[in-house]
A and B are shown apart, each in its own frame.
Chain A
Amino acid sequence: MSATDPPFERAGDAYRVGRSRDWVSTSGGRGYVLATGHGEGGPASKRVIVGYGFWIFLLSDIVMFSAFFAAHAVLQTATAGGPSGRELFNWWSIVAQTALLLVSSFTCGLSAVATEARNQLWTQVALLVTGLFGLAFLVLEGRDFAAMVMQGAGPDRSAFLSSLFAVVGLHGLHVSAGLLWLGTMMAQVFVKGFRPDILRRLVCFNLFWHALDIIWVALFTVVYLIGLGR
């Protein structure tokens, strides 16, 4: 590092996009370091590459959800003489599902803290709690769906119900896949410890789980709360 180098050489090129050096102040010293993964800094480290790639994947997943959301928004009134949201939604179940998912997101964050501290026990505990709350979420959602089908308000009754089951069900599928992944991760952390590649995967899982909660926020607002108002 050189404390005297300028942030980036502007040698005759006023339009340089991205930067080559960052000013950092760490326990290792102060000065300019080559900003890998930005501008001229050269290739980024593997953790950044994996994290960024997963971030892009999450954005693509959100776009997929937005298509289902758009369909639901358009079909929200197409009840074809069948039941509408107001007649169907189980208020307390939705409150419970929201709370369960939010808490599981919180405990997932705690597991990230435990991982940073390299504490195997607390990582596993936090991940287990996350999984259990996620499972409870799925159970409640499954019961709601079963009840609706019993009432004759299944996805084949009307376009509104089709789009409801699809968008909520897609989220549930993602949660299920997340739980399978969580189980695999817990086993991997237990057997292989906090190896760099395991750590990268844990970060990806964290991103995924938090993103699922973000999608749930949109879901319960648009589908349930706004839908209830109709």
Chain B
Amino acid sequence: MSHETETRDPSDLGPGFMDAGEMTVREGIARYVIGFVLASLLTAASFYVLTTSLIWGPGIPVALIVLAIAQMGVHLVFFLHITTAPDNTNNVLALAFGVLTVALVIGGSLWIMDHLNERMMPMHQMMQMQR
């Protein structure tokens, strides 16, 4: 297309791009190392939560989900370079739209199916009715 000139427009970044014009190799590696360390810590924490009684039993799924969300955040920021900089607005909005969709699909399905299952006649009663 005729707008195609591969000059780097520094204000125009897509997802996954580091503003590499300004970043040295060392800075780039450091970013990934920090992300890796944080993610490892969070992963270890998830496994730890399950094996010890540090968290009260019924609260474990919640703790795991919080840790998972934190880990996804680490991935997004350090590995995928999704930030709140103005050039990233479109990416963040798209991500928000995706998250909303996922929440509606999973949350909505769970709510609906839970209600359905609750109101469905238990199996053994249904078998009795068929005799």
| A and B in direct contact, judged by CB atoms within 8 A | yes
List residues of chain A with CB under 8 Å of any chain B CB. Answer: 19, 22, 24, 26-28, 33, 35-38, 42-52, 54-56, 59, 62-63, 66-67, 69-71, 73-74, 95, 98-99, 102-103, 105-106, 109-110, 112-113, 116-117, 196, 203-204, 206-207, 210-211, 213-214, 217-218, 220-222, 225-226, 228-229
20 A-B contact pairs sorted by A residue (CB < 8 Å):
A44-B14, A46-B1, A51-B17, A52-B15, A52-B90, A62-B102, A66-B101, A95-B47, A102-B36, A105-B39, A109-B31, A112-B28, A196-B6, A204-B16, A217-B68, A217-B75, A218-B68, A218-B72, A225-B47, A226-B61
Interface size on B, residues (CB 8 A): 61
Q: Out of A37, A67, A213, which one reaches B105, CB within 8 Å?
A: A67
Interface hub of B14, B43, B68, B102 (most chain A Cβ within 10 A):
B14
Q: Out of B12, B40, B65, B72, which one reaches A35, CB within 8 Å?
A: B12
Complex Cα distance, B71 from A105, in Å, reads 13
Q: In angstroms, how far is the closest chain A Cβ from the Cβ of B105?
A: 5
Contacts A74-B113, A95-B47 given; does A69 touch B106 at CB 8 Å? yes
Q: In angstroms, how far is the closest chain A Cβ from the Cβ of B12?
A: 5
Nearest chain-A residue to B114 (Cβ)?
A74
Contacts A52-B14, A196-B6, A207-B15 given; does A70 touch B64 at CB 8 Å? no
The answer to whether A229 touches B17, judged by C-beta atoms less than 8 angstroms apart, is no
Q: Out of B28, B80, B91, which one reaches A116, CB within 8 Å?
A: B28
The answer to whether B68 touches A70, judged by C-beta atoms less than 8 angstroms apart, is no
Q: Out of A103, A106, A217, which one reaches B72, CB within 8 Å?
A: A217
Closest 3 CB pairs between A and B?
A51-B14, A22-B11, A59-B98
The answer to whether A73 touches B106, judged by C-beta atoms less than 8 angstroms apart, is yes
Nearest chain-A residue to B22 (Cβ)?
A26
Q: In angstroms, how far is the closest chain B Cβ from the Cβ of A109?
A: 4
The answer to whether B15 touches A105, judged by C-beta atoms less than 8 angstroms apart, is no
The answer to whether A113 touches B36, judged by C-beta atoms less than 8 angstroms apart, is no
**Chain B 1-20 interface 0/1 with A at a Cβ cutoff of 8 Å (1 = within):** 10111100111111111101
Contacts A73-B109, A110-B29 given; does A42 touch B72 at CB 8 Å? no
